[in-house]
Chain A
Amino acid sequence: EAQVTQNPRYLITVTGKKLTVTCSQNMNHEYMSWYRQDPGLGLRQIYYSMNVEVTDKGDVPEGYKVSRKEKRNFPLILESPSPNQTSLYFCASRSPVRVNEQFFGPGTRLTVL
């Protein structure tokens, strides 16, 4: 089954404690991205990756890092989380070479105390 998976689905942590949210897709998609969703602000892109070892900033990259060492994985790293990073995070993937549906992961609800 074609899918995007994220882990963990829920996370409560404290300010400053480094964390990683994993994202994996099994559709051999070149393009992957991370969004955060906050009430009234919609889906804002954090980082995206056009392919392995190619990443770039989205609209709200401050406080986040990503890596793309393998095509299927695109982890989101918060080196020193702060309360303003409390949000719902979605990973997504699609093929950029033609018009195609963007598939979203199930979401990770992060709370930073």
Chain B
Amino acid sequence: GENVEQHPSTLSVQEGDSAVIKCTYSDSASNYFPWYKQELGKRPQLIIDIRSNVGEKKDQRIAVTLNKTAKHFSLHITETQPEDSAVYFCAAQNYGGSQGNLIFGKGTKLSVKP
């Protein structure tokens, strides 16, 4: 089955700096890669996703890149702000598969210091 590794587990940056979180996956059949943000005491919420036919996707200060050959994908946050502080989860899914389960990484706690 699919296995998703996420690094680093914690990340501390100064406000205005960039943050990068990396994930690797094991199942080459995975074709959908969402990122979820979980603020303290809240539920995870989707912030950006990418499909396997795309190499990069951007939404304002957030971007995701995908390298299918190497089976890794990354979240990039530019010009970080204190409200970006949260736990971020990557996930991988084979949405055409029989189960289509989302497999999550263990999460990265991002702290943005003002």
Contacts and interface: CB of A to CB of B under 8 A. Distances in A.
A102 to B, nearest CB: 6
A48 interface: yes
Given A99-B32, A101-B34, A90 B101 contact: no
Contacts of B101: 33, 45, 48, 58
Contacts of A105: 43
A10 B32 CA distance: 33
Contacts of B34: 101-102
A97 to B, nearest CB: 9
Interface bracket on A: 20 to 34
Nearest to A4: B43
B110 to A, nearest CB: 15
- Provide the main secondary structure of the chain B interface: loop
Interface stretch (B12-20, B44-52, B57-65, B66-74): B44-52
A23 to B, nearest CB: 12
Contacts, number: 45
B46 A102 contact: yes
B44 A43 contact: yes
B51 A99 contact: yes
Contacts of A104: 43-45
Nearest to B51: A99
Interface string B66-103: 00000000000000000000000100000100011110
B27 to A, nearest CB: 15
Interface of A: 31, 33, 35, 40-45, 48, 50, 56, 58, 90, 96, 98-99, 101-102, 104-107
Given A41-B106, A96-B95, 14 more contacts: A35-B104, A42-B6, A43-B44, A44-B104, A48-B101, A90-B43, A96-B100, A99-B32, A102-B34, A104-B43, A104-B44, A105-B43, A106-B43, A107-B43
Nearest first, the 6 A-B pairs at minimum CB distance are A42-B106, A104-B43, A43-B104, A101-B46, A42-B107, A96-B100
